[in-house]
Amino acid sequence: MEKRTRKELMRQYNERKTVGGVYAIRNTRDGRVFLDASADIRASVNRFNFSQKAGICQAAKLKKDWDELGAGAFAFEVLEEYAKDESASGPGFLDDLDELKALWREKLSGEGTAFY
């Protein structure tokens, strides 16, 4: 790879917008949900897709059902994306994601959702 091209790619990578969010991995058989937040929601989607194809479980809380029902019994849902503000610190961004996750847990609980 040319030196310029590599530098340009590195610059673009470092300037990309960080998008986190809250997601659910839903057991499609019984409706239970594993709820989590991620500082990089796209990476979480990719990790889940890889886990499904490889037949390996990414979340310890799901492992028993994952092994019993199979990877196809689970669906990934991005509930809300949250872009990192340029002025936000890393820990502040993670705190915001934790608060957003708590709000989603409250909302889903109100709808009668059962959690892992």
User: Tens digit of pLDDT for each residue in 10-54?
Assistant: 777 667 778 999 999 999 999 999 999 999 999 999 999 999 999
2 CA to centre of own chain? 34
What pLDDT was estimated at residue 108? 98
Flag whether 116 is in a domain. Answer: no
- 105 vs 34: CA distance, rounded Å: 10
Q: What percent of the chain has pLDDT over 70?
A: 94
Enter the tokens of residue 10: 């590195």
Rg of the chain in Å (alpha carbons): 17
Amino acid, res. 103: L
Residue 91 forms part of a structural domain: yes
Measured from the Cβ of residue 39, the count of other Cβ atoms closer than 10 Å reads 16
For position 3, what pLDDT does the model report? 72
- Specify the CATH number for the domain of residue 51: 3.40.1440.10
Handedness of CA 109, 56, 60, 47 (dihedral sign): negative
For the chain, what is the domain count? 1
Residue 85 in any domain: the answer is yes
Range of the domain at 24: 20-110
